[in-house]
Structure 1
Amino acid sequence: MFAEADFPWWIAGGYAIELAVGRELRPHGDPDVLVLRRDEALVRDLLHDWDMRVVDPPGAGRLRPWRPVETLEVPLHDHLVQTHTSEAPWLVPLMLDEAEGAQWVTRRNTGVQLPLARLGRRSPTGITYLAPEVRLFYKTKATRDMEETDFEAVLPLLDESQRVGLARLIAMTVPAHLWRKRL
């Protein structure tokens, strides 16, 4: 559905890890997609035939319509999009993230930034996905068994600079996280 997008986007979540390691690790409920908040109007244009909902307030699990002319402000960042048929299940969680110029800025700590060019990777089949170290960083806030599985699968693939970079990101947001020692 994003093949024609003229803005950056990345498969996120567990599928991003699987694209990085090249194999399935665990079952998934849905394919998360990350886009930049500054491109939300372009997303709306691309998905104009889809029913779009926003999680408001964040973390509460309540959905409300994302009105066609509405510009979403921080802290709103999670959406669900589905086809217009009411019988269709929710198909894609869509996440908005921040950027300043050519830098990605995490909403958890504005001091945590990376060049947008380092935010993602491209699979051999051309699918853009979130860099595995960025995906793991997102999961340090609440690490569950499935994130441990992801970490174990990705760790051998991370080079020295990726390990150091991930450890630095974790130190800035969750300094006591156990992954820091393993990196």
Structure 2
Amino acid sequence: MRTETPWGVWDPPPLAEAVRLLAPLRAPWWIAGGYAVELAVGRAYREHGDIDVLLLRRDQSEAQRVLSGWEWWAADPPGTLRPWRPGEILPAGVHDIWCRPGPDEPWRLQFMLDGTEGGDWVFRRDPRVRLPLERLGRVSPDGVPYLAPEIQLLYKSKSRRPKDERDFEAALPVLDDHARAWLAETIALAEGPDHPWAVRLRAALAE
């Protein structure tokens, strides 16, 4: 789905093409965003304005190596794009990277950088929330790595846009009790115990 932004048009490739582009990465990566929820649910149910890819911050240079001919821009908070130069290590406050094949091309992929500590993934909004790296992702039946839906929903819980609400409703039936309990606890910790999703999750656990 083509989407207009102040910085140009987003026209993400089909998911299969994105997976092909990412296959040469020598570091772990996961499809994130709404596509991650769809992969967990096992069906497509909405359109997507971009393709998010989660990469560990320590592996950020791998993205530039694999797509070396592409143009890279770092999203400096709050809402400023600037060129990401080859070999530059992005500061901890920069989490999003936009890339496209060339300056006259639409944006194609968005990389999200997440931090680690030892063998743990660390939630960037609240470092009290962490998980062993092996629990960060899953793999679809056709071999696509994707972010565990409970982790993706934790990120989505802050904004709760209409598409985030739709993702939550679609994912809730496929979350097991362990994932529901973890998500309820972490949303309550990061966003407050009365967050509507935390309330829904606790009610689902009590059924």
* Class of the TM-score when normalised by the shorter of the 2 chains: over 0.9
Letter in 1 for 2:78: G
Residue equivalent to 2:86: 68
Residue equivalent to 2:124: 107
Q: Which runs of 5+ in 1 are unaligned?
A: none
Tell me which of 45, 57, 79 is aligned to 2:97: 79
Residues in 2 aligned to 1:15 and 1:150: alpha-carbon distance in whole angstroms: 9
Residue equivalent to 1:39: 59
Tell me which of 38, 45, 50 is aligned to 1:18: 38
**Structure 1-normalised TM-score?**
0.95
Letter in 2 for 1:59: P
CA drift at 1:148: 1.1
The secondary structure found in structure 2 opposite 1:25 is: coil
Residue equivalent to 1:28: 48
Aligned residues: 180
After the TM superposition, list the runs of 4 or more consecutive aligned residues in structure 1 that deviate by more than 4 angstroms.
none
Q: Deviations over 1:36-59 (max 9, x none)?
A: 000012222122111110012x23
For residues 99-178 of structure 1, the aligned pairs below 5 Å read: 99-175=116-192, 176-178=194-196
CA drift at 1:87: 2.7
Residues in 1 aligned to 2:139 and 2:69: alpha-carbon distance in whole angstroms: 27
Residues in 2 aligned to 1:168 and 1:49: alpha-carbon distance in whole angstroms: 43
The secondary structure found in structure 2 opposite 1:136 is: helix
Whichever structure has more helix as a proportion of its residues is 2
Contact 1:120 1:131 in 2 (8 A): yes
Letter in 2 for 1:162: A
The secondary structure found in structure 2 opposite 1:39 is: helix
**Structure 2-normalised TM-score?**
0.84
Q: Which runs of 5+ in 2 are unaligned?
A: 1-20, 202-207
Percent identity (aligned): 51
Contact 1:36 1:97 in 2 (8 A): yes
CA drift at 1:69: 2.3
C-alpha distance 47-142 of structure 1, shift in aligned 2 (>3 A): same
CA drift at 1:137: 0.3
Residue equivalent to 2:73: 53
